Amino acid sequence: MNLEHARFNMIEQQIRPWNVLDETILSTFGFIPRENFVSAEYRKLAFADVEIPLGNGEYMMHPRVEARMLQALAITPDDNCLEIGTGSGFVTACMAHLSKHVDSVDIHADFTRQAEERLLNTELKNYTLHTGDALRDWTSGGLYNVIAVTGSVPTYLQRFEEQLAPGGRLFIVVGTGSSMRAMLVTRQENGEFIRANLFETSLKPLVGADSGSSFVF
């Protein structure tokens, strides 16, 4: 398998046609070795337009959804970021590459350990991995410029937007079954929130999300 050819095809045939035109995002997908964030048995699928199994009933997102999410969040080198759902660690790596620092939390301790091993093989140092339930009791106690929620919730949760700093951006997928929509939430300088629908998609729910809703949008 020619990895560079497969990587090029992923970017040009999957990501760019899905309205991801930000060259910073495209170059990030060319730079971060996605093949190093999947298990050996799925290495040949690292660049395919599929959700790759991770274990624990979880899946790695489609590359095009990852890229569209990162483009919407418009991460800058001065941003402090929070990722809800570390998963494979690939999105963590992309966010670290783009930002000042990333806190990433996952409910599965084995995901945290595995992501740490994979990230240690990169030159990235600006991340901290945590194991905890971000829907219930885990919190850093701080505010973030960017929050990426990599699993869906059935109804909109205010819990995450409350962790945004003024000017901060939140990506979250809301809905069930085939009726899910990706949303971008921005916290204005005056504390108000703007919630906008971005695109329709389908994403595995966060663990426990079916019983944690507090606000319907």
Q: Is the pLDDT of residue 211 over 90?
A: no
Q: What is the torsion angle, in degrees rounded to the nearest 10, for the CA atoms of residue 133, residue 135, residue 140 and residue 141?
A: -140
Among the listed residues 189, 136, 145, 140, the one whose alpha carbon sits nearest the alpha carbon of residue 164: 145
**Bridge-partner residues for 187, per DSSP?**
193
pLDDT tens string 74-117: 999 999 999 999 999 999 999 999 999 999 999 999 999 999 99
pLDDT of res. 216: 40
pLDDT tens string 133-152: 999 989 998 999 999 999 99
pLDDT tens string 162-194: 999 999 999 999 999 888 999 999 999 999 999
What is the rounded distance in angstroms from the CA atom of residue 16 to the CA atom of residue 25? 10
**Bridge-partner residues for 197, per DSSP?**
183
Domains in the chain and their CATH numbers? 3-211 (3.40.50.150)
- What is the pTM (predicted TM-score) of this model? 0.94
Amino acid at 31: F
